[in-house]
Amino acid sequence: MTARYPSLRRRLPAASLTLSLLLAIAATPAAANEAAADTAADAATSTADEGAATQGSYGGDIVVTARRRQETAQDVPIAMSVVAGEQIDNTGSFNVGRLTQLTPTLQYYSSNPRNTAVNIRGIGAPFGLTNDGIEQGVGIYVDDVYYSRVASSTFDFLDVAQIEVLRGPQGTLYGKNTTAGAINITTNQPTFDFEGKAELSIGNLNFKQAKAAISGPLSDTLAARVAISSTSRRGTIRNVATDRWVQSQDNIGVRGQLLWQPNDDLSVTLSGDWNKQDAVCCASVFVRTGATQRPLNRQYAALAAAQNYVVPSDNPYDRLTDLDANLNAGNKIGGAALRVKWDVGPGTLTSVTAWRFWDWQPENDRDFTGLPIVTKSQNPSQQDQYTQELRYNYTGDRFDFVVGGFYYYQRIDTQGTEAHGPASSRWTLNPTSALANNPAVLNGLTAINTQYLKNTSAALFGQASWKVTDQFTIQPGVRLNYDKKDGFYQRRVFAGDGTPVVFGPTDAITVARLGVFAPQEISPSFSDWNFSYDLTATYKATSDLLFYATYAKTFKSGGINQNGVPTDGANNPILAAATVKPESVNHLEAGVKSEFWDRRITFNLTAFRTDIKNYQANVNNGQFGVLRGYLANAGKVRTQGVEVDFSVRPSERFRAYANGAFTDAKYKRFVDAPCPPELSGGGTGAVIAAPGTPGNSPANCDISGQRLPGVSKLALSFGAEANTESKLFGKDGQFYLGYDGSYRSRFSSNPSPSAYTWIEGYSLSNFRAGFRTESGFDVYGWVRNAFNQNYLEQLSVGPGNTGLIVGLPGDPRTWGGTIKASF
């Protein structure tokens, strides 16, 4: 378990609050999902006044709900990171992407909100274009509501009390979509005491962020809370074609809650939220080229020279692009939820009913150049999601259990338009063909895609804890799940004059057009039953020393290919590729949680191994529009490693933390993987050319034993804060100085490791310094990426096997100031 240091202020839980105050707040409904009268919460509150020597560094008194009930974090046999709400604010970690700097095992990649992947320990979602027909492997939950769209991770956190990042499979309690872990977010809840807070930040790059929340009673039994957040920032990449900054931020969100509590046994919470992004996004920059097996006249250098095209800069850190197609990333998400908690008999019955929507309005430039090759690429989507969870929690002296049921329904509709422009013929077709010199062949060629997905899931689950002795506990869990997915995909193709392009005619122009966009229609369907189970044994050697070991057998639901499938020699869809088998997961984990030096030091150690059979991998075809990408099952994947979480608080004046993860994530068996660019683009003969040499290319490649994309072998986070009591303008308070750093080693940025797509390791440093008072006033300055480290977040292989490699540079140095007040 990792938790960030709270401050020494005793009013709100924060990155810089004293632990005693954090615990008191965490023990109320504002920081947890269960009743405030819970025994663990009472214990945490009573501990808060006992002094630094008995409070714990950040460990045993932090209340979490990882097992759907309130417990202290050091008593939960799960590897987790716990980040308090104000730590998120103070470190600028206002979305999942920035949270990765505080949690080493969490990986986040996003070329745009839809094409976002959130992984833990290197697994979770395939690396590359998102396919709606599969589940994410990391479940995101906000106040018990499952957020199925990973695009939600790109939005700002809104009025968050605490985030728990649970590592490893959580399938029995959090569902079949959590084979890698879960992000459990708890927001601040309505209170019957009037309170409020406001925060304003400004910085370079025209950064502006404002947050506010107010809570209080409407009557003796009714309370309300409203929160709002707004973030805007100029982009970090300059588009010289439009004279406009891109990769900007423009987020706004609002959340409202009503709590009805007629008595101590019943509480009903109605919540609603609405969030919008309207950024100028998303762009890439030229990074390099790499030799492929295409003929030299069909590789990037020759193709660009043929049209007198020169990139605005070959240095990615100049942050220049010249993309000529419209860019947009309009993104709306929201919903409503009703949570009922009723103390019935010896336990608590909880019902969570929710509806969520997602509206995605993108525009992209899929050729990654300033030439009018692909002039339009739009795949807007709309989603409606309905969930119902019912569970019963019982806590006894020797026996605890959670039992429940879950129902989920999702409908996604997508309407796609892709079109080519006047530069496409010369770029896309063989330069030796006369057609390549005729812009009309591909100019205006358009594909219209229509698709929908109906996704239904139902489950029964249960988890029990049997305290065999005062020290030894066993915890079995089970989940029975049914999944059904029905999809539809249709692609119609039209020439520039509106004439349909269909199979049948054999003239050269039609054949050339079909080589770019091919019509297809499929209706894939998948259904299956699955059974998950896990068993955890816990040994509490002393009050501050816990050993545990876990075995889990779980799965990730099978899926369907929603972006089309490959075709056979007669151009018929290969329907066997329309469905993807479920992932079968075997997981072993062992750990120790400990506290020393009168609980001033927390030291947790975890070792794990996860084997996944039928790993769901993304396969990209390499052409512009024949097939954007489809899913296939790799034979076997293994991720294993060791994680260490350490924190120390020798006094109220100083605290520090250091967390690390060594992760060895590999394809154990993947013999028919897509080939990297250096082994792609050539002919189909029997004699294969050397990598990067024009000639014949293999149909597929054996990448068994190679690294999974996106995961570093070594990842670290570390930091410290020191403070001193003082006065400012006659107000008693503390001056403080804080530092948060992170490091990750090199990692692959392509599903099949390529010499051209390794991202070198880098380290980031963030500083903050300010003054705070016990009354809730806090003012500080901050600088992020203080040493202006140049680094790449992601690399992508350009379409068509031309050897083009583009990337997304990480944020440069940013700085600013924040002022906060609460009452």
Question: How many other β-carbons are positioned within 10 Å of the β-carbon of residue 574?
Answer: 12
- pLDDT at residue 44 tops 50: no
pLDDT of amino acid 620: 59
The residue-averaged pLDDT of 519-530 equals 95
pLDDT of amino acid 17: 29
Phi, psi values for residue 757, rounded to 5°: -125, 25
Q: What is the mean pLDDT of the chain?
A: 89
**Could you tell me the CATH number of the domain that includes residue 542?**
2.40.170.20
Alpha carbon distance 664, 105 (integer Å)? 12
Per DSSP, 761 falls in state P
What lies within 8 Å, CB to CB, of 254 at 6+ separation is 158, 226, 227, 228, 229, 273, 274, 275
Token pair, residue 149, equals: 């769209």
Alpha carbon distance 500, 518 (integer Å)? 11
The residue-averaged pLDDT of 307-323 equals 97
- pLDDT at residue 244 tops 90: yes
C-alpha distances in Å from residue 777, one per residue of 10, 193, 653, 770, 823 = 11, 19, 19, 11, 9
Among 497-506, 519-528, 556-565, 614-623, the minimum mean pLDDT is found in 614-623
Confidence class of residue 53 from pLDDT cuts 50, 70 and 90?
very low
Per-residue model confidence as pLDDT tens digits over 579-610: 999 999 999 999 999 999 999 999 999 999 99
- pLDDT at residue 330 tops 70: yes
Asked if 446 and 462 touch (Cβ cutoff 8 Å), the reply is no
Q: Which residue has the tokens 């630094």?
A: 52
Q: Is 77 helix (H, G, I), strand (E, B) or coil?
A: coil
pLDDT of amino acid 622: 46
pLDDT of amino acid 18: 29
- Closest listed residue to residue 416, CA positions, set 628, 559, 116: 628
Angle 39-47/19-26 helices, nearest 10 degrees? 160
Alpha carbon distance 719, 5 (integer Å)? 9
Alpha carbon distance 557, 616 (integer Å)? 10
pLDDT of amino acid 267: 97
Token pair, residue 786, equals: 């203080």
Alpha carbon distance 4, 656 (integer Å)? 9
What lies within 8 Å, CB to CB, of 210 at 6+ separation is 198, 199, 200, 201, 228, 229, 230
pLDDT of amino acid 109: 87
Among 61-70, 148-157, 364-373, 481-490, the minimum mean pLDDT is found in 61-70
Among 147-161, 179-193, 240-254, 337-351, the minimum mean pLDDT is found in 147-161
pLDDT of amino acid 816: 97
pLDDT of amino acid 565: 87
Phi, psi values for residue 356, rounded to 5°: -135, 155
Per-residue model confidence as pLDDT tens digits over 765-811: 999 999 999 999 999 999 999 999 999 999 999 988 999 999 999 99
pLDDT of amino acid 693: 96
Confidence class of residue 631 from pLDDT cuts 50, 70 and 90?
confident
- pLDDT at residue 1 tops 50: no
Asked if 744 and 810 touch (Cβ cutoff 8 Å), the reply is no
pLDDT of amino acid 556: 92
- Closest listed residue to residue 192, CA positions, set 253, 142, 262, 145: 262
Asked if 326 and 333 touch (Cβ cutoff 8 Å), the reply is no
pLDDT of amino acid 14: 31
pLDDT of amino acid 597: 94
Question: How many structural domains compose the chain?
Answer: 1
- pLDDT at residue 358 tops 50: yes
SS3 track for 211-248:
EEEEEEECCCCEEEEEEEEEEEECCCEEECCCCEEECC
- Closest listed residue to residue 457, CA positions, set 352, 333, 556: 556
* Share of residues in the chain with pLDDT > 90 (%): 76
Q: Which residues constitute the domain of residue 628?
A: 2-822
Note the helical H segments in 27-161.
39-47, 52-55, 85-90, 96-99
Note the helical H segments in 360-518.
424-428, 508-514
Return the C-alpha torsion angle 438, 442, 443, 448, nearest 10.
170
Per-residue model confidence as pLDDT tens digits over 365-395: 999 999 999 999 999 999 999 999 999 999 9
CA angle 39, 40, 46 (to 5 degrees): 90
C-alpha distances in Å from residue 248, one per residue of 233, 447, 766, 791 = 6, 29, 21, 18
- C-alpha Rg value of the chain to the nearest Å: 27
Question: How many other β-carbons are positioned within 10 Å of the β-carbon of residue 333?
Answer: 23
pLDDT of amino acid 695: 96
Alpha carbon distance 505, 494 (integer Å)? 14
Confidence class of residue 35 from pLDDT cuts 50, 70 and 90?
very low
Asked if 290 and 756 touch (Cβ cutoff 8 Å), the reply is yes
Per-residue model confidence as pLDDT tens digits over 171-216: 899 988 899 999 999 999 999 999 999 999 999 999 999 999 999 9
pLDDT of amino acid 54: 32
- Fill in the amino acid letter for 255: R
Question: How many other β-carbons are positioned within 10 Å of the β-carbon of residue 390?
Answer: 15
pLDDT of amino acid 743: 97
Alpha carbon distance 494, 392 (integer Å)? 56
Confidence class of residue 41 from pLDDT cuts 50, 70 and 90?
very low
DSSP-assigned letters across all residues of 633-666? EEEEEEEEEEEEEEEEEEETTEEEEEEEEEEEEE
- Fill in the amino acid letter for 254: V
The residue-averaged pLDDT of 410-414 equals 96
Confidence class of residue 3 from pLDDT cuts 50, 70 and 90?
very low
- pLDDT at residue 128 tops 90: no
pLDDT of amino acid 126: 79
